[in-house]
Structure 1
Amino acid sequence: MEIYLVRHTEPVTPKGICYGQADVDIKEPYLEIFQEIKAQLPTDAIVYSSPLLRCKKMAEFFTDNIIFDKRLMEMNFGNWELKAWNDIPLEEINPWMDNFVTVSVPNGESFKGLHQRVGEFYTELLQKNADKIILFCHDGAIRSILSHYHKTQLKDSFSLYTIKYGEVVKIIL
């Protein structure tokens, strides 16, 4: 089984803004970038996507036959959604920065929470009888899948994996 993990292209949100499950759009022009991404992907794959616009747009460029799954959404940043990282009170952000794996964002989730929901999706995916699968998703979901695949600690996922906007990561099972 080949799984292609595709991170959405650059969002319209300014640098320094927290956007997890906020449904933000992607920067234009993006059609040329989409063409480059499409050239890296098989045409005979089952396609899944996060339902958030920044992934949905890419998936719909690729095919009309998409399975949208909320478990592929980015981390829920709760009260911090669309706030500048610098405007988040230190008493809220410091505990999370010290232990983002298990500390939940106020009215949001922890990285462990994201990892559990993405892991549930990934486990189901492995049971499918498919040769090729494409996932249009987010940085957090991709890091989570790579942590499952490589059996690495969540706390190490940001030092081990760098996933650029529009990057395609292929894993083979």
Structure 2
Amino acid sequence: MGGCLKILPIVREDRRGVFVKTFHVDAFRELGLPTVFAEAYFSVSHRNVLRGLHFQIPPMDHEKIVYCAEGEVLDAVVDLRRASPTYGQHILISLRAAEGTMLYIPRGMAHGFCTRSEHAVMMYQVTSVYAPACDAGIRWDSAGIPWDIENPVISERDMGFPALSDFVSPFD
């Protein structure tokens, strides 16, 4: 999808375990990715937890890099940029801690995931700080995403988001 990028970081494994380099300024610059982040955070979720689909609207919209530090998730991104040829479409990518796979998400995209393992730790780096007045989302079941899950565990907040078809996008 326009602008999303699957990143395969340096992963080293030996008898002690695994070492994953999640950020290298020169490698990110070569890919045209942000090298300055305003916030970093993580979430811990149990099996069948579905989080999303989240984003921030302008002027606090942001680029985001996500990866699964423990467990496995099915990660989803929906394009909300009105002028994009992929507007309203989604991509799905499995993020597994064992692989270290990361996903770069540009501005104007909604993001969410469903936990496939017993539990998962998701890491996030974003280019703007959290701004409650700009916090937004679309309902998880309104973008045609085949989550492949029965009875997901979803927050009341996420259940209350508008459907994609009712959302008026501020993203050009």
For normalisation by structure 1, the TM-score amounts to: 0.32
Which structure shows the bigger proportion of residues in strand conformation?
2
| More contact order relative to length (CA 8 Å, sep ≥ 6) | 1
